[in-house]
């Protein structure tokens, strides 16, 4: 994974899957049956999020690394 965005991964009992959130990219989330699958899916979603933002001429947040509240 080459993304430098902060990732938060956790287990969701409700979904019975691992969830990955990318707080610096609003609404950017992925899931998977395993942590590695969820992280791989997150990379795909990050790329899609950025591609869509470019197409819509929207600002793409720079990766800040460690979040202060995390």
Quote the pLDDT of residue 3: 75
Residue 18 β-bridge partners? 11, 32
The answer to whether 19 touches 9, Cβ cutoff 8 Å, is yes
Record the tokens describing residue 3, joined without a space: 């993304």
Rounded to two decimals, the pTM is: 0.85
Mean pLDDT by groups of 10 residues along the chain of 70 residues: 84 97 96 98 97 96 72
């Amino acid at each position: 994974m080459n993304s430098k965005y902060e990732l938060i991964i956790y287990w969701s009992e409700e979904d019975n899957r691992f969830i990955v959130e990318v707080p610096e990219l609003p609404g950017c989330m992925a899931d998977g049956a395993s942590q590695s699958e969820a992280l791989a899916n997150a990379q795909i979603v990050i790329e899609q999020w950025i591609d869509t933002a470019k197409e819509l001429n929207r600002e793409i947040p720079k990766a800040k690394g460690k979040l202060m509240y995390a």
